[in-house]
Amino acid sequence: MEGSLAGKVAVITGGASGIGRALAEGLLAEGMQVVIADIQADRLERTAAELGVLGVRTDVSDPAQVAALSAAAVERHGTVHLLCNNAGIGPMSPVFELTLADWQWMLDVNLRGAIHMLTQFLPILRGNADGGHILNTCSMASMMPVPTLATYCTAKYGLLGLSEVLAMELASDGGKVGVTALCPGPVATDLGSSTRNRPADLAGSLRDVMLEDSEQFKDAVVDWISPAQAAQIAIGAVRRGDFYAITHPDMVPEVKARHAAIEKAFADEKQRREAQA
């Protein structure tokens, strides 16, 4: 996106709470026009009123509601420059307990929701003379496996993969539209009560677990940061045009361990072939 953020237009999904709300506050402070979208009507109304922005009730898993959101944003502000795909849910369950309804809900919101938004908004961003930018809220769970978070990891690895391909394609499409993948570690939000927004027809075994109560983190010191800190890191990356926005640099050993296992598999296979030659 060329030039400063001031005067440009942002649409933020999941904007009623947590990181999305903090992004709205941070982008307003940059002088942007902001539209927030969220499935939770009461909070959306409250946050939109408090921030003085347009709030559009939207379930990102429904393409028709996403189309209505883009029409409302363009009608209010003329265009959209910054698309923040941030709506998400994070309940947990081991794979052997998961139902198809669990998978559907998690993938519909965390992955298909971003795909619906991208399909709807990318033509608008590409049509701007001054381009645009896409900020996808991925996760540390886009880069490392976390037990009981299989549905979440599946969606968030997918969203990071989509972001990587998109960034390459848009770079060779003239570079007018950039991509940032925000990969947060623990942020103190309401993600631990995600089932509050679960559709009744998609009931299953996924349940809300606070991270520090989960099996894998119960003995760890969880380094919580505030939504405002996460939002500032994301906005800095958008301004610089960085692809990755990392909130917890101290979590690199887990990422390195995964990469090392992949590289070892390549090296081992090479060694086996050399031994046979």
Ligand X SMILES: NC(=O)c1ccc[n+]([C@@H]2O[C@H](COP(=O)([O-])OP(=O)(O)OC[C@H]3O[C@@H](n4cnc5c(N)ncnc54)[C@H](O)[C@@H]3O)[C@@H](O)[C@H]2O)c1
Which residues are near ligand X by CB under 6 A? 13-14, 16-20, 38-40, 58-61, 86-90, 109, 113, 137, 139, 184, 186-187, 189-191, 194, 197
Whole-number minimum distance, CB 275 to ligand X, in Å? 43
In terms of CB distance, is 111 or 131 closer to ligand X?
111
Return the H-helix or E-strand segment holding 265. Answer: helix 252-276
Per DSSP, the residues of 206-247 read -B---GGGSTTTTTS----B-HHHHHHHHHHHHHHT-SEEES
In terms of CB distance, is 143 or 176 closer to ligand X?
143
* Assigned token pair, 102: 């669990």
Whole-number minimum distance, CB 277 to ligand X, in Å? 46
Selected catalytic residue, list 103, 105, 121, 152: 152
Whole-number minimum distance, CB 247 to ligand X, in Å? 8
* Contact present, 105 and 206 (Cβ < 8 Å): yes
Alpha-carbon distance values, 242 to 141, 168, 192 (Å): 19, 13, 29
Q: CA-based angle 129:132:134, to the nearest 5?
A: 160
In terms of CB distance, is 90 or 131 closer to ligand X?
90
In terms of CB distance, is 16 or 131 closer to ligand X?
16
Whole-number minimum distance, CB 6 to ligand X, in Å? 25
- Annotated active-site residue 244? The verdict is no
Active site residues: 152
